[in-house]
Each structure stands twice: as structure tokens, then as C-alpha cells.
Structure 1
Amino acid sequence: MTARIARAGRLGALLLLAGAVQATPVHASADQPGFVVTGAPVDRRDVVTWAASADRMGEAVAGRAYRLVVHTSAAGRDMRIRLSNAFGDRPVTFDSVYAGVQKQGAELVHGSNRPLTFDGARSVTVPAGGATLSDPLPGRLPAATNLVVSIHSPDAAGPATGHWMAMQTSYAAQGDHTSEEGGEPWTEVLGSWFYLDAVSVRTLAGTGAVATLGDSITDGWASSSDLNRRWPDYLARRLQSADTDVQGVANEGISGNKVLADGGGPSALKRLQRDVLSQPGVRTVFLFEGVNDIKAHPGATAQDLIAGYRQIAERAHAAGKCVVAATVGPYKGWSEWDAAGEKVRQDVNQFIRTSADFDAVTDLDHILRSPYDPERMLPALDSGDHLHPDDKGMQAMADAVDLKSLDCAGR
């Protein structure tokens, strides 16, 4: 059986270890002009355990603190976070950053909340358009942990960076309460994440991750909030109990996102490097996107969308990643459906099923469609809007993924 990191108990998620952590700056380029990642160099054993694609979030608020709840996939130690100012027009300083484990609501498990440092300092300034990695935090972080990252900025202004549709309750407070484990100061309830766009852990050598590049279906729209029932969450649970070295799952879905054009966030082509290829340990890109390009008016042609898919595959392969592509699911009954768009969807799916551009294919159209009307979603998997699957549909999608196709080591 393939060796994997054993899962520890929830209360032992962030155990103290002795010794100081040394850090030196490192820079990584990305598609977005000026996007620079600073922080201690990434170790070859580092693997992303949680991620959410960065987007523009409206005006930032100075003196505000955020208590952000995220759910890990891969287990490991020496946790690091990535703070993003990708959409900022000026530097933003974080003068207090802590990580702990959720007990309930905004309350943390007693003794779990610990400060994070950046190049040895408690404070860090992230440049406009850039991101920064924290120093590794000694201790173990189990899989399937509700990790809580608390951040405070005294000077945040201009456009904020974050992820709008979290499907997870987080919290905010005015003033710096990041070091406190109680939930009392955190009176504002949030449905979004701010500034935090990735968490990684150090794993056994050979462990990898899959990044799911997609739109609102991957982002989890219509799944149950606070229960981690997005299809990448179900996939993560399968991986944790399977004999595979792929343990990390980075959910890089954005509601409304398109392959070719900006709209719900930058296009998949524009954000591929920043959101996917720059994440540590990513072995495979799972591409499930295109319905927003197709159902737009005017919509993309099959030829243009196929060209976009090919660009993503070429760039991922050039970065040493494998690509698993998924067919576009049915959406008849959604207000933007028409026969012309359906023809494009059928042509695109035929390309995906038969193309040599991908390392593997998952036929999610086949899983989701009704046998009585293949242009519609199976009612038992439909959230009711005829585009987004419900919890059962999300699980059916994850169950359809061949786990062996995600483990591309040696290909």
C-alpha cells in the first residue's frame, strides 16, 4: 500500500515544536502583470491542502479583522498560508496573523491559536498585485480539519482581494482580535473569504495534489453551506481513504467564470498560472469549465472554446502537469439555454471525449444528464435551477472521477 501521512486527532492539529524557522524571499511570476509571490522558498514536499481563487472584492476597510474558516484536504506538517493582494492598487499590511482550529462558530479549540510569521516578523506588507507566503508553522495539521486563519490589517484601502462565494461561514470584527480564541468579538458573519487564497503543508515525498479549475459548479453553488459538499470536497474525502499519493485538492472554481473572457473573475486562461500552476505540489489540473462561455449571448463558438482548452492543456503540460478534462454538463431549463448553445455544447463534448490533448477524460455530462432528455439534468441530481447539481449531484460527480487518472507521476 502506498505510504501516506497518518491522520492525527483534531485537538492535536497544531502542536508546538521547538526551533526557529528561517526564511528568505523568493519571487514567482504569474499571468497577472506585476504578480509576485514573496516568502520562504517552497519545499519540494509542500502540497496545497486548501485554496480559493482570488477575485476583486470591493473596497477594503482599515482596522478590520477577519476570522476565516477553511477545510483542509491533505494532511501534513509545517503549515503555510498565502495572503493575496492580487487585485489591490496599493500595498496592504497585515500586522497580526494567527492560525487555529475551529471549535464552533468563531470560537477556537483552546490552545490551538498560534501566531504566524513572515520572514521571521509578525507583520508583513503585501505589494499591490502580489502575494506572500508565511513561514512554516511547526506542528501537524490533519486532513479534514476546519482550520481558522485570523488576520488584521491596520491600513487596508482600495480594492480588496478575496473569494466571494465561500459556501462557508466566516467572521469579521473591528479591531485586532486575532489572538483571542473566544468568539465574542466576531459579531459580523461573512459568506466570503478575504485575502487568504491558499494553505499548504509539508507531506511525505511523492505526495501530490489536484487543482480543479472551474466555474460556479466547482465553486459549490447550490451545495449545502458549512458542510463541505462541493464536488471537490467529496473528491477529497475519496482521496483520503484511497490508496493514492494524490491527497491535496485545490478548489479553483469561481462563480460565473469563463474559459475565454473575463466576467466572474479573470478568464481561466488569465488565471491559470496564479490560481493553479503556482500552487505547490499540484500534479494534475482537472478542467471542468465552459458552460458560461456557451450560454452567454453571444456565446463562444465550439472552435474558440476548443482552442482555449488546448491552450490550457499546452501550458499545464509545459509546467509538467497532467490534465484531466470533463465534459460540459446539460443545462436545458436554465433561462439562457437555446438550441444554438446546445449544439456548441455537443460539439465541445465530442472534442473532449476524443481529443489527444488531455491525459484523461471524465464524462460528467453522461453522469448528470437525464436518460429521457439528455439535454436536461437528471432531476434527482438537479438543485432545481437546471444548471447546478445539488448535494447528491455533487457527490455523483466526484464518484465519477477515476482516481488513478489524477496520479500522473511517471507519465
Structure 2
Amino acid sequence: MRRRTVRRARLLAVTVAAATLQATPAPAAVGPPDGVITWGASAYRIGDSTADRGYRMVVHTSAGGRDPRVRLSNAFGDRPVTFDSVYAGLQLKGADLVHGSNRRLTFDGEASTVVEPGSTVYSDPLPGSLPAGSDLVVSLHTPDAAGPVTGHGMALQTSYATQGDHTAEESGAHWTDTIGSWFYLDAVSVRTPGATGAVAALGDSITDGWHSTGDRNRRWPDYLARRLQKAHTTVKGVADEGISSNKVLADGGGPSALNRLDRDVLSQPGVRTVFLFEGVNDLKAHSGVTAQDLVGGYRQIVDRAHDAGKCVVVSTIAPFKGWSEWDPPAEAVRQQVNDFIRGHREEFDGVTDFDRVLRSPYDPERMLPFLDGGDHIHPNDKGMQAMADSVDLNSLECDRR
């Protein structure tokens, strides 16, 4: 009986949320939004496009607000991509949407848009409110897409695909192909009260959530977002800009942090603070990268973020002994970098010590087994939560405007 009551309460909640999205039309807006990013995922090339394909993608919001807008990306395409139908609604279950929530998005007042190679485009605001912690569903159709496709490969979230245009349908009947990536969609923003800001987590596969439980939003930035919603803070938005295998200095798992900083972080609306947790992929397995090299990369990110009016919180590099590419020289560099971060706090707007949170007291070069996802480099759900719980929320409030 209790389960039935809880289920009814949940259905009522999403129905109320859907109703809030049904408001009077607002004027179309062109260009970057003036609000705050509520969801983000770094884009890179994830394969080749398919014509007449529809994608129904589930994303989980952080900050709540009004008039959501989505950003579509063709950053890694080699030809224009046409989106002739894009809708947004709220997830009921699987590919099914809450009745009455699915509505068409427009672009400069038009139902379709063409995104040039290397470019992104924002939708017009969709009138209504979007609560924090919503499962927003963006459905889009590409009639003649070809060539490289831009997206985010490791979503850790079940989404859906189909042939043909079924974007307007609330039913998931035609959305029978399950997918584990986000295609073309790389950001959602909302309008919020003027003081509200966001933090963008710039990182690698640990930030991307590998070894956290899929479909449960248990990446460490997700846990951080839930903390922020309950806290007395003006920072409410969280953008997870992690890419598996990513490096600070060199391209590989997507463009390097230095090469993607502008698009993935600095261009996002409302970002007040950059949370930099990256570097393990640079130094492992006889890479030849020195502590000075990595510190130099950090300093470039800090300088560019500061020039853009953003604050930077940096974390120490977590232990990874037991991972196949660990060796004593890489460990020595990791220790040198961490010593620098702890000893030069004045160069950053805040420091978080994920190394200290995750390491074993019996072997500081290893992750504590209780927090280890099993491969000795990626934390499990408990490790992800421990990381988020260790972040000083006051450090995210920093303001350089």
C-alpha cells in the first residue's frame, strides 16, 4: 500500500512539473542565454551520423528556473547538420513522456535550424518553469545528417533512438532502440534570479562518472548538485564537463582541457567557478610529462578563467596504484603536483583534496578499497559521494566579476 502511495505521489509531482511548463508564449531570443547552465556534457566526435534518425535523450537538471533553452552542437562535424524537429518534455518512464509536457523548441522563431561545422546553436526559450532535479527529455530529428557526429559517448544514462521523425510523440512506442550516448545536445540552461550561478567541473573519466551506477545520477558532480540544492548558497547549477581519458595538455580522449576550455566551460551561461580535477591521464605510463608541465597547464587554465571573470577551484590528483598504467615515476609526479597544489593555495580561488579523501591510510598510493570501483582508479558510488561531500561550498561562491 505504501509503494502505491509513493508512486502516486511521484506521478503527481511530475504532472505538476509538466503543468508549469505550459505557460504563455514569450518572445524569441537569439544568441547565448542570459541564464544559468543546469545541465552540460562535453562534446567530442563519437562516430558517424545517420540520416533520418531521431534521438530522445534524458538529462538530469541541477538548478531550477524558467524558460529552458538547449544548445545543439556540430563542433566536430565536417558539414552542416539540419535539425528539422526538436522537442522537450519530462520523462515519465523509459521513453514515455509526462502527458502534456512535450513541446516544440524553436530557433530564432523557426521550427528547424541548420548548424554549421564547428558551431553551436541555442534554441529560443521554452516558456514555463523547469524544477531542479528534473529528468528532462530532448527529442530531435536529423533528416539528412552525414559525416562525423558530435556528442558525448559515455552518458551513463539510458536514452532512445528511432528511424524517422517521432519527436512530437509522448509515447515511447516508436523509440525502441536504447542508446548510452547523448547526440548533438551539450547544454541546457534556465533563467534564474540574478544572483544565481553555476560551477563547471572540468575533468576526465572520474568526473564523467565511470564506475558509478548508471541511470541513477551518482557521478560526483551529481552528488554535489544535490548538496547545493539543499544549501544556503547562490551557486545552484552544475555542469559535468568530464570526458573519459581526457588530458590537460594533449588531445586524446577528446580535445585537451586547454583546447576545450572555452567551448565547454567559459562559454556556458552563469558559470561562476571552474572546478579543475584533471591530470592523472597526463602523467601515467611513461608519458614523460613532468610536474612542471602539468602545473604549467593548470596555470594557463587559471589565467584564462580569471581573464573571463571566473574563479578556479583545483583538486589534488587521486591515487591510482593498482591501475595497469601506474608506475613509480608517475607516482612521483603525482606527489609533486599534489604538493604544489597544497603549498600554493594562493594561486587558486580554492583547493579540494580528493587525494586525501580517497587514499588508503595503509597505502597512500592506493585508493581505499571501500571507495574503489574495482579498477583502482575510478571511485564507486560511495567514493563519488565522499568526493562531493568534501567540497567546501563556500569556495564555489567566489566572484571575480
* Residue 276 of structure 1 pairs with residue 265 of structure 2: yes
Alignment map for 1:1-400 (pairs within 5 Å): 9-14=13-18, 15-24=21-30, 39=31, 41-43=32-34, 46-355=35-344, 356-400=346-390
1:130 and 1:283 mapped to 2: Cα distance?
23
For 1:339-392, what per-residue CA distance to the aligned partner results, in whole angstroms no more than 9, with x for missing partners? 000000000001111222211100000000000000000010001100000000
Query: 1:277 corresponds to which letter in structure 2?
Result: L
2:278 and 2:247 mapped to 1: Cα distance?
7
TM-score (norm: length of structure 2): 0.95
2:16 and 2:283 mapped to 1: Cα distance?
47
2:108 and 2:338 mapped to 1: Cα distance?
47
In proportion to residue count, which structure has more helix?
A: 2
1:329 and 1:129 mapped to 2: Cα distance?
34
% of aligned pairs identical?
71
Instruction: Specify every segment of 5 or more residues in structure 1 that has no aligned partner in the other structure, as ranges.
Output: 1-7, 25-38
1:410 deviates by 6.1
Query: 1:398 corresponds to which letter in structure 2?
Result: A
1:169 and 1:370 mapped to 2: Cα distance?
33
1:337 and 1:392 mapped to 2: Cα distance?
23
2:310 touches 2:399 (CA, 8 Å); kept in 1? no
1:333 and 1:287 mapped to 2: Cα distance?
24
Question: C-alpha root-mean-square deviation of aligned residues, in Å?
Answer: 1.2
* Matched position secondary structure for 2:127: strand
Match of 1:403 in 2: 393
1:69 and 1:394 mapped to 2: Cα distance?
21
**Change over 3 Å in CA distance of 1:299–1:390 after alignment to 2:** farther
Query: 1:357 corresponds to which letter in structure 2?
Result: E
2:310 touches 2:400 (CA, 8 Å); kept in 1? no
1:42 touches 1:280 (CA, 8 Å); kept in 2? yes
1:324 touches 1:360 (CA, 8 Å); kept in 2? yes
Match of 2:6 in 1: none
* Matched position secondary structure for 1:405: helix
Instruction: Specify every segment of 5 or more residues in structure 2 that has no aligned partner in the other structure, as ranges.
Output: 1-11
Match of 2:3 in 1: none
For 1:206-232, what per-residue CA distance to the aligned partner results, in whole angstroms no more than 9, with x for missing partners? 100000000000000000000000000
TM-score (norm: length of structure 1): 0.93
1:340 and 1:145 mapped to 2: Cα distance?
45
2:287 and 2:151 mapped to 1: Cα distance?
29
1:13 touches 1:139 (CA, 8 Å); kept in 2? no
1:19 and 1:234 mapped to 2: Cα distance?
34
* Matched position secondary structure for 1:198: strand
